A and B are shown apart, each in its own frame.
Chain A
Amino acid sequence: MIEPLLKLEKIDVAYRDVQVLHGVDLEVYPGEIVTVIGPNGAGKSTLLSTIVGFQVPRKGLISFRGKTITNIPPEETVKLGMTTVPEGARVFTDMTVLDNLKMGSYIKSSRVHRKESLEMVFNFFPRLYERMRQKGGTLSGGERQMLAIGRALMSKPSLLLLDEPSLGLAPMLVRKVFETVAAIASTGLTVLLVEQNVHFSLEISKRAYVLENGRIVKHGFSEELMNNDYIKKSYLAL
Chain B
Amino acid sequence: MNYRTDRIILIIFLLISTAVAFLPYFVQSEYLLRLITVVIFWIGIAGCWNMMSGYTGYIDFGPVVYFGIGSYVAAIAMTKYMVPFFPSLFLSGLISAVIAFFIGIPTLRLKGAYFAIATFAFAEAMKQISLEFDRTFKVSFFQGSDGITLPISGHDNSFFFYCILPVTFVVMLTHYFIEHSKFGYGLKAINEAETAAEISGVNTTANKLRAYATSAFFLGLYGAIEAYWITYITPSDVFNVQKTVQMVIMTLLGGMGTFLGPIVGATFLTLISESLGTRFVEYYLIMIGGIIIVTILILPSGIIGTLKIRKRLRFI
Residues of chain A having any CB pair with chain B under 8 Å = 52, 54, 73-75, 78-79, 83-84, 86, 90-96, 98-99, 102-104, 106-107, 110, 133, 148, 151-152, 155
Contact = CB atoms under 8 A, between A and B. Distances in A.
B78 to A, nearest CB: 43
User: B191, B198, B201: which has the most chain A beta carbons within 10 Å?
Assistant: B201
A93 B193 CA distance: 8
Contact of A93 (B192, B200, B314): B192
B281 interface: no
Given A94-B188, A133-B1, A103 B199 contact: no
A14 B199 CA distance: 21
B189 A103 contact: yes
Interface of B: 1, 182, 185-186, 188-189, 191-193, 195-204, 314
Q: Report, nearest first, the 5 A-B pairs whose CB atoms are least far apart.
A: A107-B201, A78-B201, A90-B196, A74-B198, A92-B192
Contacts of A86: 195-196, 199
Contacts of A94: 188, 191-192
Contact of A90 (B193, B201, B204): B193
Contact of B192 (A95, A96, A98, A106): A95
Given A83-B199, A90-B193, 8 more contacts: A52-B199, A54-B198, A74-B199, A86-B199, A95-B189, A107-B200, A152-B199, A155-B201
A78 B200 CA distance: 7
Nearest to A77: B199
Given A75-B201, A107-B201, A155-B200, A90 B185 contact: no
A91 B193 contact: yes
A135 B188 CA distance: 14
Contacts of B195: 54, 74, 86, 90
A91 B196 contact: yes
Contact of B186 (A83, A106, A110): A106
Nearest to A85: B199
B189 A92 contact: yes
Contacts of A74: 195, 198-199
Given A75-B204, A92-B192, A93-B192, A99 B199 contact: no
